[in-house]
Structure 1
Amino acid sequence: MIYSRVTAVVLAGGRSIRMGRNKALLKLGNKTMIERVVEPLQTIFENIIIVTNMPKEYPMLKKVKFVSDCVDMEEKNSLVGLYSGLIESKTDHIFVIACDMPFINTKLSEYMVDLLQDEDVIIPFVDGYYQPLYAIYGKRCIPEFEKLFQRRWYKIIDAFQDLKIRKITREEILELDSSMLCFENINTYDQYLQLKGVFD
């Protein structure tokens, strides 16, 4: 099913300090990492936004919208990208994922969208931890994120106190993704070398 009521947002604005290069462009098999993220999303979502200040680096991505960070700050962080995606989205809700998470589980993503009613956030919660970069956020999050900016707090989950949250439990996730690989992100070159064999 192709969903039009939720926009997919891919965060590709990080500086990849630990990787030492733009990890979104690293090859996994015959495709870049960001292609491994975007292509499955295009089977689910009608509209896809890539948040990046360097759109010219991604000529291989078609039928997506590129937007820049809406907040200018020296320290790049996921909250800025998430906020920018929400601001630019024409839909009330967005599904957010990072560009270094190439093991998307389409069934889990669809399940999360199907659950959506009037929640502000739908987010996996496993072993006491949220997965904030594999989650759905609504426009009502925007003022809560702005409060964090004012306080110079950039942890996404710090905004949850006054929002309506639907947690996706470990049991729900395991029914759709027994490996839970969808939450794996690639931060270092060693991690990349270990995981690239999956696609070779």
Structure 2
Amino acid sequence: MQKDRLPSSFAAAVIGGGKGTRLAAHLGGASKWLLRVHGRTIRDRQLELLYSLTGELLFAGGDCARTADIPPQVRCVPDMLPVGGPLAGLHSALFHAAADTVLVLPCDAPHPVQALLRHLLCLAAQWPDAPAVVPRQADGFWMPLVAVYRRSCVPFMETLAQQGIPHVFRLFELLEKNGTPPVAPPMESLRRYDAGLNTFVNINTPDDLQALQHGSPRPVPSLAARPQRWQRS
């Protein structure tokens, strides 16, 4: 088995955020994807990286009507599930992608590292029957928006939506109960590919943005700290 082999076919999806109310003064009604960090938008940073990996790119979830900033070569697919949140964005990406396997990133992560994303994709290729590859903290907390998913997750997501459950973390419980748990690389093991785990740093508040602008990204929580949850705000 080749450990450095990528899946034969895969798409990449940027998961759109919510209305960005805490960053309204910086956004001016635009998507968090257009926030500038060191002179470049998050959009341009992410697309440059993702295009080096695959030709099928999607912007999933959020409000496609207000994302005129999406380049024409990126397909915008709106939420389909009534529950909203990251679960709906992930579902939309998997439902619409031509490829069975989808690499995902949140729209407000300005410093994704290619080596780490390639490693997650290689794990997906090594475990072709696994429904997902999702990094996990030592305390069991998942990092679901820097991950790889397969279309086999779709019916489980729809089951959660039918029950009115918007939490993506419940997806992993369902998969485990089904006997098909996600591959869960430990977060600390990923430092081999991204020493500072900067791929997991996202922007939710003006303080986050200011720290990044001054070259001091908010650190990924230590193993002894309570992990920060990804939010669509």
| 1:147 counterpart = 2:159 | yes
Q: Which runs of 5+ in 1 are unaligned?
A: none
Give the structure 2 partner of residue 192 of structure 1.
209
The one of 2, 26, 29 aligned to 2:35: 26
Give the structure 2 partner of residue 109 of structure 1.
117
Distance 1:2 1:166, change over 3 A: closer
Identify the range of structure 1 (1-10 vs 156-165) with the bigger mean alpha-carbon deviation: 1-10
Give the structure 2 partner of residue 86 of structure 1.
94
TM-score (norm 1): 0.88
TM-score (norm 2): 0.77
Note the alpha carbon deviations across 1:122-180, whole angstroms, 9 max, x for none: 01112322110001111111111011111111111201232331011134201111111
The structure where strand makes up a greater share of residues is 1
Give the structure 2 partner of residue 69 of structure 1.
79
Aligned counterparts of 1:59 and 1:4: Cα–Cα separation in 2: 30
Q: How far 1:194 sits from its partner (Å)?
A: 1.2
Q: In percent, how many aligned pairs have the same letter?
A: 25
Aligned counterparts of 1:60 and 1:27: Cα–Cα separation in 2: 15
In 1, are the aligned partners of 2:104 and 2:145 still within 8 Å (CA)?
Answer: yes
Q: Within 5 A, what are the aligned runs for 1:132-171?
A: 132-161=144-173, 162=175, 163-171=180-188
CA RMSD of aligned residues (A): 2.2
Where 2:135 maps in the other structure, the secondary structure is strand
Equivalent position amino acid for 2:20 in 1: S
Q: How far 1:58 sits from its partner (Å)?
A: 4.1
Q: Which runs of 5+ in 2 are unaligned?
A: 217-233
Distance 1:195 1:92, change over 3 A: same
